[in-house]
């Protein structure tokens, strides 16, 4: 590999890397509180925790229901709320995963575009030098 990192390794040259880093900084991929993916991931975690709390409280409520047949409505309500809690937890996990992957994949698609541009420029230069 030479000084500009353009060898068989296929990495970006220093000028292309600097341009890539500048573009990533402009996009604010690592963004602050206004970043929708980060906010979505936080909401997903919150919904997951809320769902598990509801499920645990419902399970505890069902344990305290009388076993003589008079506690059946209480147990059914607890089971329904427990199922709702588990459902919320699953939805929260899906929201978190979606938003986390979106942030990650956005960065890598930008990097891929810049690397392909550099490879194309190298190919064009090699074809010009070959004539």
- Classify residue 13 by its DSSP letter: P
Predicted confidence (pLDDT) per residue in 84-130, tens digit: 999 999 999 999 999 888 888 888 888 898 889 889 988 998 898 88
Quick one: pLDDT band at residue 1, thresholds 50, 70, 90? very low
CA 91 to chain centre: 14
**pTM of the entire predicted model:** 0.59
Residue 106: Cβ-neighbour burial (10 angstroms; 0-12, 13-18, 19+): middle
pLDDT at res. 45: 95
Residue 105: Cβ-neighbour burial (10 angstroms; 0-12, 13-18, 19+): exposed
Query: By percentage, how much of the chain surpasses pLDDT 70?
Result: 80
Give first-to-last CA distance, the chain, whole Å. Answer: 25
Quick one: pLDDT band at residue 46, thresholds 50, 70, 90? very high
SS (H, E, C) 19-37: HHHHHHHHHCCCCCCCCHH
pLDDT at res. 89: 95
């Amino acid at each position: 590999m030479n000084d500009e990192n353009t060898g068989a390794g296929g990495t970006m040259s220093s000028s292309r890397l600097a341009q890539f880093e500048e573009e990533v900084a402009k996009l604010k991929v690592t963004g602050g509180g206004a970043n929708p993916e980060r906010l979505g991931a936080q909401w997903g975690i919150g919904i997951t925790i809320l769902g598990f709390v509801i499920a645990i409280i419902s399970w505890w409520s069902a344990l305290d229901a009388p076993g003589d047949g008079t506690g059946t409505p209480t147990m059914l309500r607890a089971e329904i709320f427990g199922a709702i809690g588990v459902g919320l937890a699953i939805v929260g996990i899906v929201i978190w995963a979606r938003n986390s992957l979106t942030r990650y994949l956005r960065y890598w698609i930008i990097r891929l575009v810049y690397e392909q541009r550099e490879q194309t420029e190298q190919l064009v230069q090699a074809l010009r030098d070959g004539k």
